[in-house]
Structure 1
């Protein structure tokens, strides 16, 4: 198993250098085809107009989007030169999340930049990773601002015995095979059973060994406060990347993420590999 096609999603109104750098690195590591993808749509106007004036505004808006998408293609091709065996660019005038989810059918792994915590984003120009991860049906690697490479000297698997975590660890096998040190961590929740967690982590470590991946298990004695403990262990083992299942559910067409998943998307120290 490998990543034969890597896709990187570029944002129209956000910096893309870090996501592009990680995409170039992984395309080289896996000798993969690399697809750049972006989309943007016209934001609804704050006022109403009609007739010739409305038509001119529409034409100007579309022309601006086309120019921005052309600039992003140039940025993508310049950044990827010499790093991938095959390059492809896909773009459209349309809602970014919907278009990227659609195009992800062509990829093994999708890379996107993190959005600024607390910042208001325009869904017509910027794709929220929290939206993508719940809809994309492919593993998503989220790259925080300032992270220039995927540090695989130490990788932390945030384990929880559910389908999302099982899917994530399978999807992450190509990355885990290249990691120097792998830690499988389960944080026992307040009402959880530590002995049961230890047995589960032992099975995961053994399963990884069957895939020629050496890993160690860790189930801290302290229970609860999963996000804080996850950060603490990640710092202790020097994790350069975290692999986790993405947990959440849909309600009234809004994607509601679990607290730990949201925390992982908002942390800014390391890349996060999420699958659902």
Structure 2
């Protein structure tokens, strides 16, 4: 079970759906829900900027702190209203991605929002935390309206270490799910990873954890990310689990194709791990 869940806190329009998802998990698992808000930069970085001409006075940094504190107060009130019994608050004088990365070390799961703003970069904060952090990240689309996360779950399986870590991070949800479908896209292309019967070994691993699992293999010319989203829609999944990929030393700015598609287009929550 998840015992500590960290959720990104700010005053954006996507905060409501993100908090609703995080609170639902905290209530279901009896977890402590920790809200993490940030000033957007450190005091030392602000001091360097404030030394430049034509910039606002230094007391603007205190305004950033006060704004973050106000967001945390709204988070605590909202979490209590959603039935969360135990909450915590952290105000970090840093950029939000780095703040979440620091706090994720002391949690089982991080909850963030999909980059929903028009023109948002695909290498935003959720990807940064998923690719650099030690914990899985639940990425919630702004349009999410409270559908069950542990009803129907689709798991993208390609035999990779990232997918294995995503499954491990999702186990508390998979074990409670009504139905789990293990989705393999064009498994014949990775026969060395899948063995003679693609998906069978992972399905057996999950079954030993008490997970009701069905293996789905799809052969398609579509990009893998689009194929997974199509399969999730077809089976009515409320959650998609997948490995997060980046490219080499530039992975914080150059995402793999599957990860980019899921972060940009998924209409349902996606649990990612690297």
After TM superposition, the score normalised by the length of structure 2 is 0.87
Taking a change above 3 Å as real, the CA distance of residues 198 and 261 of structure 1, as seen in their structure-2 partners, is farther
Distance 1:102 1:51 in 2: 29
The match for 1:119 is: 119
The answer to whether the 8 A contact 1:184-1:215 is kept is yes
The answer to whether the 8 A contact 1:189-1:223 is kept is no
The answer to whether the 8 A contact 2:50-2:58 is kept is no
Taking a change above 3 Å as real, the CA distance of residues 31 and 65 of structure 1, as seen in their structure-2 partners, is same
1:183 to 173, 181, 189: 181
Residue segments in structure 1 that go unaligned for 5+ positions in a row: none
Residue segments in structure 2 that go unaligned for 5+ positions in a row: none
2:145 to 141, 144, 148: 148
Spell out the pairing of 1:127-166 with structure 2 (5 A cutoff).
Answer: 128-151=125-148, 152-166=150-164
Report the 3-state secondary structure (helix = DSSP H, G, I; strand = E; otherwise coil) of the residue aligned with 1:243.
strand
1:113 to partner: Cα distance: 1.0
Taking a change above 3 Å as real, the CA distance of residues 164 and 253 of structure 1, as seen in their structure-2 partners, is closer
Taking a change above 3 Å as real, the CA distance of residues 191 and 72 of structure 1, as seen in their structure-2 partners, is same
The match for 2:21 is: 22
1:148 to partner: Cα distance: 2.6
The match for 2:232 is: 234
CA distances 1:104-156 after superposition (whole Å, capped 9, x unpaired): 111101101111265247x9xxx621111111210100000110325232100
The answer to whether the 8 A contact 2:244-2:259 is kept is yes
Spell out the pairing of 1:47-62 with structure 2 (5 A cutoff).
Answer: 57-59=57-59, 61-62=60-61
The match for 1:271 is: 269
Report the 3-state secondary structure (helix = DSSP H, G, I; strand = E; otherwise coil) of the residue aligned with 1:112.
strand
How many positions carry a matched residue from both structures?
A: 267
Distance 1:268 1:165 in 2: 17
1:174 to 172, 175, 182: 172
1:218 to 209, 212, 216: 216
1:85 to partner: Cα distance: 2.9
Taking a change above 3 Å as real, the CA distance of residues 201 and 117 of structure 1, as seen in their structure-2 partners, is farther
Taking a change above 3 Å as real, the CA distance of residues 190 and 225 of structure 1, as seen in their structure-2 partners, is farther
1:243 to partner: Cα distance: 0.4
The answer to whether the 8 A contact 1:184-1:217 is kept is yes
